[in-house]
Structure 1
Amino acid sequence: MVAAGNAADTVLTIFQQRRYNPDFVQVRKVIDSGVLGRIVQIRLTESKFGRRWDWQTLQKFGGGSLNNTGPHYLDLALQLFGPNEPQVLCHLDRTLTLGDADDHVKVVLRAEGSPTIDIEISSCDAFPRETWQIIGDRGGLSGTTRSLTWKWIVPDELPKRELDTRPTPDRSYNRDEIAWHEASWEADQTNQEAYAAFYLDLFQTIRHGAPLTITPASVRRVIWLQEECHRLSPIAQEFN
């Protein structure tokens, strides 16, 4: 498809509108600002507790949480992971679904020079966690698609310490005095619709030759990751 699009001198893109979601845009702003320091780990969660029994629960129709919900979250994860090729850990499971496709997904990505990224999509989580948890060596971020909070330190404000191998007084543990800086974001602070932003950018590409925002190569990487997950954790097909 990519080769055919290039040969036809036309625009080929894919509808990955979640990159325009206000929460994701804000997460990238916070990360890019550097206040959280080096990003050590990112956890993305989309969980609930509930059954499905429709056609999208069947492997013969390409169903399952990895194929249905996964492309959005895998795409966001890869955007934050960077260009490195990830080592992939994946476990797919069937829990409450009436079909034969997965409804519990765990994917972990890691590579030298990239944050470890933990993606969880589950239909059997009675205590769902927030969408975002980001761990950095100077702070962290937590929140949902509607509300985010982050806090960070300023290293120069920390008390001066030196490594000390002597026994601590009364066998006590080290305790740091940390002055936190905090900020937050609410979804109603932005009026831009994710779908509209996708098409506004596409208009600029088609009519004015602007660089394509959602490139086929970036989405092909998502498809590769989906296929790798299915290879690593196959589930037997029961309905033909």
Structure 2
Amino acid sequence: MENETIKIGLIGVGRAGYGMHLPEVLATDGKFDFAAVCDIDPARRDVFEKRLGHPVKFYSDVSALLQDPDVEMVSVATPSNFHTPHAIAALNAGKYVFIEKPIATSYAEALNLAKVAGQYPGKLFLRHNRRFSVEISKFREIIDSGILGEIFEIRFRIMNYDRRADWQAITECGGGLLNNWGPHLIEHALYFLDAPVKRSFSRLCKVAAAGNAEDHFNIILEGTNSRLIDIEVSGGCALSEPMYSFYGSRGACSCNDRRTIHLKYLDPGQPLAPLTAVADTPPLDASFGQSEKLRWIEKEVIAERPAGNGCAIWQCLYDSIRFGKAYPITIEQGLEVVKIIDTAKRGTQFEQTFKR
């Protein structure tokens, strides 16, 4: 079985299942393939098969797909409020499970998922796919190099103006930007915080979208190491800011296209003389700043995307299923992400109610 193709049963032939899972699987060089798909719209079978290049079994009932012996792994790509129940059903059917984000729409639901997954060790995998993006690896490399000094603040921004009116704008369907973009950026925040969360702040509001779900949120996390991460995601901001910004005691970097990283940092070869602050009255011709001449290095580096980069998460998934290698995203990490989202929503008009 070591080199055998992993046969997938896909639940949900939509924007995630058809638009992301399918092209990514096609790029895995045969490590994965689809044996069956399940959707409420039978017309999507032909479209799916045409892009895939071969026939698949089609089910309109999830339980029927889960009974298919040809399905080794179930990929859950349904709307957000179905992720947990479909994943639990697949685990109970003895399948490997690849679950889309958010893994749950409440912390209580996430804990239940983790409890069930504990009965099937090594079977549940979280699709927090943006951890595998090349710019995230490059940021980690830059931070670990020390050229920016001690990182004290990080900012993540996803900002546009979008009068959204699909199910993602409806709270009862698991919609809202916090369930949509939140898992990606909160997962990034916990990864770069490098310490437990000491305290947090959140604000959710609705600006431009239809429906009743939030289309703007702010979450600020402070670690026990005093590092602060400021997340803002909005469908109501007509002007944007850099997608990623990292600020350190010796420099900073930012990126707005997930590829080109702008760096500015103090020349490591320049010794900095000790400074002592004085309370004396400055002379009349004194400047308001420090007259010290600092040597700055300013440059751009490219986070190169190798061919097939979108397969990185699938390669890790394959290596874990076939060879028992550790999968980089743990269930405990996923629980922490959902806990932060749940805390942010609790007591607000956007608190999750269910429609299944």
Matching of residue 29 in structure 1 with residue 141 in structure 2? yes
Pair member with larger Rg: 2
1:236 and 1:14 mapped to 2: Cα distance? 23
Give the 3 Å change call, closer, same or farther, for CA 165–209 of structure 1 in structure 2: same
Letter in 1 for 2:301: W
Matches within 5 A, 1:1-240: 1-144=113-256, 145-154=258-267, 157-163=270-276, 164-170=278-284, 171-175=286-290, 176-187=292-303, 189-231=304-346, 233-235=348-350
Unaligned runs of 5+ in 1: none
Kindly state the Cα deviation for residue 232 of structure 1 after the two structures are TM-superposed: 5.8
- By how many angstroms is 1:114 displaced? 4.4
**Relative to 1, partners in 2 of residues 1:115 and 1:69: Cα closer, same or farther, differing over 3 Å?**
same
Q: Give the alignment's Cα RMSD to 1 decimal.
A: 2.3
Percent identity between matched residues is 27
TM superposition shift of 1:225:
0.8
| 1:172 maps to amino acid | S
Q: Within 1, Cα distance between the matches of 2:216 and 2:170? A: 14
**Count of residues in Structure 1 that have an aligned counterpart in Structure 2:** 239
Cα 1:78–1:162 change in 2 (3 A) is closer
Which has the bigger relative contact order, CA under 8 A and spacing at least 6? 1
SS at match of 1:14: strand
Q: 1:209 to 1:96 in 2, by over 3 A?
A: same
What TM-score do the two structures reach when normalised by structure 2?
0.62
* Structure 2 residues not aligned, in runs of 5+: 1-112
Counterpart secondary structure, 1:72: helix
Q: Is 1:45–1:120's contact at 8 Å kept on the other side of the alignment?
A: yes
| Letter paired with 2:119 | A
Q: TM-score, normalised by structure 1?
A: 0.90
* Residues 107 and 118 in structure 1, CA contact (< 8 A), matched pair in contact too: yes
Give structure 1 regions of 4+ aligned residues with deviation exceeding 6 angstroms: none
